[in-house]
Structure 1
Amino acid sequence: MITLILLMIIYLAFISLGLPDALLGVAWPLVRQEWMMGLDAAGIISIVVTVGTISSSLLSGKLIKRFGEGKITLMSGLLTGFALLGYSLAPSFIWFIFLALPLGFGAGSVDTALNHFVATHFKAHHMNWLHSFWGVGATAGPLLMGFIIASTGSWRKGYLVVALIQLFLAAIIFLSLPLWKRHATEQANKADEETEVLNENHTDSKRIFLRPGVPFALLIFMVYCAGEFAMGLWGASYLVQKRALTLNLAASWVGLYYAGITVGRILAGFISFKLSNKQLITLGILIALAGSILLVGNISDHLSMMAFILIGLGFAPIFPSMVHETPKRFGNKIAQSVIGYQMASAYVGIAVFPPLLGVVMQRTSIGLYPVFMLACVILLGILTVLLNRATKIKT
């Protein structure tokens, strides 16, 4: 019963993780106008956020051992909440950069810890539903920001509202801390066994890159997260400049993209009773490919909107299914180490490619945005085929 209640708390924590992810992409057209910044300046913030995330991920083992999953989850909510509150009060762009570090640091270790917790203790449908709650947060964020900008004309009030929601979720997590402590007590009798497994993980992780398929798995996370984040970061700017939509309508379309991810992961949870993780990943790539082709075509408003939805639906099962499949692909002994490397690869993809895309578009054309998305999806398909062959996963 305690484990089930904790699962519900983890779902709330993933809403908290998703809330800030797409805010900048929606607010940026107004922010850059107020501070006279270039399109590519948003990439600087993205890089700093990811540096904070990677740093906390690398420290996650020590932090979790020292404080436990419950306190780490609480600290994550507080850090991101206060960072977003700072955004609402920021007097200049330099403050955005400064506050991006705690915003990223709040996400890293808790992301790795909660993903491994669910992959180890729960089935595939729980993993998909877990990540659908990230989609709830990621969908609500841009919709709230777009609505508040349309109502008040202020991006600052949008950040303020999301910050207050984040701190409210942190308060709920604070009230749940006794449950985390009870769970740890119940697991105390397994300490010797867990220590033995951790030691084995440590030994095997030294040769982790020699394991067949591991490089392909890491590249898949890098490419997927580059595409997922770029879709949210530059989507509103593309729609405003290329399709001449209002900022509020563009924000709604970006919200539909994240809604596609959310609904897709809820559906994937049910479909996982019939299809394997591998089949879900393949299905997702095919749907995202169809959406990317529509986006490149840029035929009409309605088809472009459908492209955002399809890409979201296609992306939905890829990340959670890849994480949940990790123990099957590489074995339970090194699963924790591989998942850690996968999370780091994901953050590298976020840190490098979407900001780089912004730099290139600033010097060329924002029309490269849909081409980048199509290239990401095609590369995902190629890498998935290579990974399946390397790990000899049967359908």
Structure 2
Amino acid sequence: MLFALALLAFFAIALPDTMLGVVWPSMRVSFDQPLAAMTLVLPFGVAATVLSTSSWTWVAARLGLGRLLAASVALSTVALAICALAPAYWVIVACAVLFGLSSGAIDAALNAYAARNFGARRINLMHAAFGVGAACSPLIVTASASWRWAYLIVMAIQGVAAVLFAVSTRRWRETAIGTDVRVERARPRRSTRAVVGLLLVAVDTGLESVAGLWAFVFLLEAVELRPATAALVVSGYWAALVAGRILLGSVAERAGAWPVLVGATVVAGVAAALIGSLGPIAAAAGVILLGLAVAPIYPLLVLTTAERTAAASADRLVGFQAAASTLGSVTFVGIAGLVMGADVRGFAVCVLALTVLTIGGIWVLRPGAARG
């Protein structure tokens, strides 16, 4: 049951995370805001997410893991209700903080729990559920009568999740995770491997986000694909990412995390080369192949967190990695946007650079590498 709840939670937190961009064109008309006003929402959400992922063990030590998860899902449900009834734009900005606090705690807490209690297959399935939620969010918006109804529909989904988490608070094995106050005070050991792990998570999620956000523009303007074809390729990227987590998680369960991580970086290198060729067929294939390559990397880095720090501080390091994931995604997407503003072909350069950094990070962290 707990694994099913983890899947539901990751599916649910993806819905509001990816919904704003789809509802914004109609939402901004309701509030008489310019198109660029959405950028004000993002910093507040990111700051709240980083705060939540970095401090979740402090809260869990006092509430307990089950109560933390139930309260976080309930907080997101409340935020969705407020958004649906929002009378003004500033309410949406304020709700971004609530969403960040909620999703950050769920992300870090469930990743830490999964790293201790789930194998490679289940942790990849958990992250695949997030991808499914991200794919379903635009469909919910387009099927709704208005953006307010879209928020109410997602609120109902998360309300069900909140009830399920509330009635299962005692079933979470809190002794298997760092919710003891003494464990919560432990600090991740400042080793080279721990630092490299944080940087690698930031780079990997940056690569994942850059490809997902900017591939359409690159394929449309640099490769000169038709809009419908470019959109289909980007959908293929996200489908490959979800499928890769489902399929490669099972492979990692049998072969081990590190062979899959090494293999994924090799495939990512091939994908980056195909994208850099700028050929229509090769670039399109490269984007889809990149989705398959990056799919298992972050889940397996979470799974191997304990290899990079002391056991007592592994949960905190998982939280810091979740924060690094958020910062990496936002930072590298912004950098790629600036590069592509000068030359849209810079997308291929950004993908190649991030891929090389990912390969380097995996090489440093691989079993048998010098420990620091």
Q: 1:96: Cα distance to partner?
A: 6.3
CA distance in 1, matches of 2:94, 2:72: 22
Matches within 5 A, 1:372-387: 372-387=350-365
Aligned-partner SS, 1:176: helix
Aligned-partner SS, 1:213: helix
CA distance in 1, matches of 2:347, 2:293: 18
8 Å contact from structure 2 (residues 205, 328) kept in 1: yes
In structure 2, relative to structure 1, the CA distance for the partners of 1:292 and 1:317 (3 Å cut) is same
8 Å contact from structure 2 (residues 261, 300) kept in 1: yes
CA distance in 2, matches of 1:390, 1:79: 48
Q: 1:29: Cα distance to partner?
A: 9.0
Q: Does 1:202 align with 2:199?
A: no
Equivalent in the alignment of 2:3: 7
Q: 1:162: Cα distance to partner?
A: 5.1
Equivalent in the alignment of 2:233: 253
8 Å contact from structure 2 (residues 58, 181) kept in 1: no
Matches within 5 A, 1:63-82: 63-64=59-60, 65-66=62-63, 68-78=67-77, 81-82=80-81
Q: 1:168: Cα distance to partner?
A: 2.8
After superposition, give the CA deviation of every residue in 1:91-128 in whole Å (9 maximum; x if it has no partner).
Answer: 87x77655543333331111101111111122221111
Deviates more, 1:69-78 or 1:224-233: 69-78
Q: Which amino acid aligns with 2:288?
A: I
After superposition, give the CA deviation of every residue in 1:31-62 in whole Å (9 maximum; x if it has no partner).
Answer: 99997657xx8765543331121122234234
Q: Does 1:182 align with 2:200?
A: no
Aligned-partner SS, 1:208: coil
CA distance in 2, matches of 1:239, 1:84: 34
CA distance in 1, matches of 2:271, 2:149: 32
Q: Does 1:298 align with 2:278?
A: yes
Q: Does 1:133 align with 2:129?
A: yes
Q: Which amino acid aligns with 2:182?
A: N
8 Å contact from structure 1 (residues 135, 262) kept in 2: yes
Considering only aligned residues, what root-mean-square deviation do their CA atoms show, in Å?
3.6
CA distance in 1, matches of 2:149, 2:309: 43
Matches within 5 A, 1:123-272: 123-142=119-138, 148=142, 157=146, 163-183=151-171, 187=173, 199-200=182-183, 202-203=185-186, 205=187, 208-209=189-190, 211-242=191-222, 243=224, 245-246=226-227, 250-272=230-252
Instruction: Give the % identical residues.
Output: 23
Q: Does 1:367 align with 2:366?
A: no
Aligned-partner SS, 1:107: helix
CA distance in 2, matches of 1:379, 1:313: 18
CA distance in 2, matches of 1:42, 1:224: 25
The two structures have a TM-score, normalised by structure 1, of 0.78
CA distance in 2, matches of 1:230, 1:223: 10
In structure 2, relative to structure 1, the CA distance for the partners of 1:13 and 1:178 (3 Å cut) is closer
8 Å contact from structure 1 (residues 142, 254) kept in 2: no
Task: List alignment gaps of at least 5 residues for structure 1.
Answer: none
Q: Which amino acid aligns with 2:287?
A: F
In structure 2, relative to structure 1, the CA distance for the partners of 1:194 and 1:101 (3 Å cut) is closer
Equivalent in the alignment of 1:53: 49
Indicate which of 292, 297, 304 corresponds to 1:318: 297
* Total equivalences in the alignment: 365
8 Å contact from structure 1 (residues 225, 349) kept in 2: yes
CA distance in 2, matches of 1:56, 1:219: 19
CA distance in 2, matches of 1:382, 1:365: 26
